[in-house]
Amino acid sequence: MPGHTHIAADGVQGNIEKAIRRKKNVYDMQDMNEVMAKSSSNVTVVDMSISDFQEWPNLCKSRSNRNRIPLFKHIAEAKFVKGEKKTVLQNQICKRAP
């Protein structure tokens, strides 16, 4: 199919799906872990618990008349500096001397 990419995870997913169809009955996470472990020799199953996850705060902002966040179509140039929270936006491309 044009425009479709294939990554390694696609192959792993396909192997897991085949293993599920062969087993037929997967009732709980222990069954699922066994199916995934047996699906391929290069798969390592890591059993995770709730303490392995964190609830991250939503830091996204919606555009409103109060905060005046610009639309992407109006941004011509953006500058991001590692370690800084400030973003510099330009609505026109600045011409720099060579």
Name every residue whose Cβ is closer than 8 Å to that of residue 91 and which is 6 or more positions away in sequence: 70, 74, 75, 76
The 10s digit of each residue's pLDDT in 27-66 is 998 999 999 998 888 888 888 888 888 888 887 778 777 8
Alpha helices in 24-65 (DSSP H): 29-39
Question: Which letter does DSSP use for residue 40 in this model?
Answer: -
Q: Average pLDDT, stretch 64-78?
A: 82
At 55 the pLDDT is 86
